[in-house]
């Protein structure tokens, strides 16, 4: 008996995925803000502007319809995971979400990070990874054949948050050079602070760091700023910086980073930005926060037009849309 030859399901010779743009990001890992300079920051920000316009006018498009994202979160997340999933969906792509309970994956059986990455890359074109260990994304990138985007590695870095933060500052105030930026809260463990500080050091800015003594900015980062000639000042009082700040970047005291909870109890309510505090601030300035907040900004401040933190959240969608499209060669 002769088996009839099956008619092919796919005409593979007629279609090949090719990058549309040689943008410097194609197939690149996004692990650290140190990968970015002013030129490629401007590129991503311009693409983010396009994504914003598209989302407002169309809602979705099919730019990444042929691509799949694996979203892998070993730590809790609301904004970062949701915005990456939304970004991929709005660009027409597919998502493998491992974001709500890594304990239900094979990690609960003892599977290593590397084995998880090597497995997931068989199903996707790009991996977004959050992990509790500093350097975990860089480790994953050494083994993976698909691009790794760092969505936070412990107390290390959070590059996509820093990109959306810088984009927010530029969008809200129209420029970055010449600004006075005050960072408040957990500066020791705050990866968003570390990443944004490194990006801001490329510009002509003045930086003010406000924290309890035990949560000061790491000395190596402070020394880097001084070596670059950045004007810096440290204090433990918001009142010392509020009158002249163009940007007040507030962060929560991160309970999960403390090994001694007694130390956390000593500093957990150290700062609160209230309407009374805001009354001392300039008319043209913004308050930012990477969120979540746990009391460091009073809810009454939300009604102040200078409160930019939920606009900041929205900007995260556009920046992550731009990054995904750029890494996959479609922007």
Distance CA 141, CA 61 (A): 29
Question: Strand ranges (DSSP E) for the chain?
Answer: 68-73, 94-98, 126-131, 148-153, 180-184, 206-210, 231-235, 247-250, 286-288
In the prediction, which pLDDT does 101 show?
55
**271 has a pLDDT exceeding 60:** yes
In the prediction, which pLDDT does 106 show?
56
Distance CA 104, CA 36 (A): 36
**130 has a pLDDT exceeding 60:** yes
In the prediction, which pLDDT does 154 show?
82
Name the burial class of residue 108, with classes exposed (0-12), middle (13-18) and buried (19+) by CB atoms within 10 angstroms of its CB: exposed
Contact 177, 147 (CB under 8 A): no
What's the order of all strands across the beta sheet hosting 68-73?
A: 94-98, 68-73, 126-131, 148-153
Distance CA 13, CA 118 (A): 28
Query: In sequence order, which residues have a C-beta less than 8 Å from that of residue 179 and are 6 or more positions away?
Result: 169, 173, 203, 205, 206, 246, 247
> What are the tens digits of pLDDT across the range 87-109?
999 999 999 998 765 554 556 55
Distance CA 82, CA 31 (A): 19
316 vs 103, residue with greater confidence: 316
Distance CA 288, CA 291 (A): 9
Residues noted as catalytic:
79-80, 109, 130, 158
In the prediction, which pLDDT does 104 show?
47
In the prediction, which pLDDT does 17 show?
80
Mean of pLDDT values over 230-239: 95
The full length of the chain comes to 331
Distance CA 180, CA 176 (A): 9
> What are the tens digits of pLDDT across the range 162-214?
999 999 999 999 999 999 999 998 898 888 999 999 999 999 999 999 988 88
**281 has a pLDDT exceeding 70:** yes
Query: In sequence order, which residues have a C-beta less than 8 Å from that of residue 6 and are 6 or more positions away?
Result: none
pTM passes above 0.85 = yes
In the prediction, which pLDDT does 190 show?
85
Name the burial class of residue 22, with classes exposed (0-12), middle (13-18) and buried (19+) by CB atoms within 10 angstroms of its CB: exposed
Mean of pLDDT values over 24-42: 95
What domains does the chain contain, in order, with CATH numbers?
A: 19-157+316-327 (3.40.50.1370), 159-314 (3.40.50.1370)
Provide the token pair at 31. 């692990």
> Rounded to the nearest 5°, which phi and psi values hold at 76?
-60, 150
Please report, rounded to a whole number, the percentage of residues in the chain having pLDDT higher than 90.
Answer: 72
């Amino acid at each position: 008996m002769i088996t009839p030859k099956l008619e092919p399901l796919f005409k593979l010779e007629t279609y090949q995925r090719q990058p549309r743009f040689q943008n410097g990001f194609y197939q690149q890992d996004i692990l650290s803000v140190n990968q970015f300079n002013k030129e490629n920051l401007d590129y991503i920000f311009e693409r983010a502007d396009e994504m914003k316009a598209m989302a407002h006018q169309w809602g979705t498009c099919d730019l990444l319809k042929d691509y799949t994202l694996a979203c892998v979160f070993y730590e809790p997340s609301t904004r970062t995971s949701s915005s990456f999933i939304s970004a991929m969906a709005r660009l027409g792509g597919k998502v493998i979400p491992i974001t709500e309970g890594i304990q239900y994956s094979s990690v609960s059986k003892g599977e290593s990070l590397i084995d998880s990455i090597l497995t997931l890359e068989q199903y996707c074109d790009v991996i977004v990874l959050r992990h509790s260990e500093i350097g975990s994304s860089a480790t994953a990138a050494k083994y993976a054949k698909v691009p790794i985007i760092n969505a936070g590695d412990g107390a290390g870095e959070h590059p996509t948050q820093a990109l959306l933060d810088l984009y927010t500052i530029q969008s809200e105030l129209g420029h970055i050079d010449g600004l006075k930026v005050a960072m408040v809260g957990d500066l020791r463990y705050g990866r968003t602070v570390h990443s944004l500080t490194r990006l801001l050091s490329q510009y002509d800015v003045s930086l003010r760091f406000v924290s309890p003594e035990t949560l000061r900015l790491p000395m190596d980062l402070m020394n880097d700023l001084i070596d670059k000639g950045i004007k810096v000042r440290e204090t433990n009082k918001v009142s010392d910086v509020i009158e002249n700040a163009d940007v007040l970047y507030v962060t929560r005291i991160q309970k999960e980073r403390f090994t001694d909870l007694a130390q956390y109890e000593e500093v957990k309510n150290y700062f609160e930005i209230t309407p009374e505090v805001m009354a001392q601030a300039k008319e043209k300035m913004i308050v930012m926060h990477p969120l979540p907040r746990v009391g460091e900004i009073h809810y009454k401040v939300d009604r102040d037009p200078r409160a930019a933190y939920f606009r900041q959240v929205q900007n995260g969608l556009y920046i992550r849309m731009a990054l995904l499209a750029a890494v996959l060669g479609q922007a």
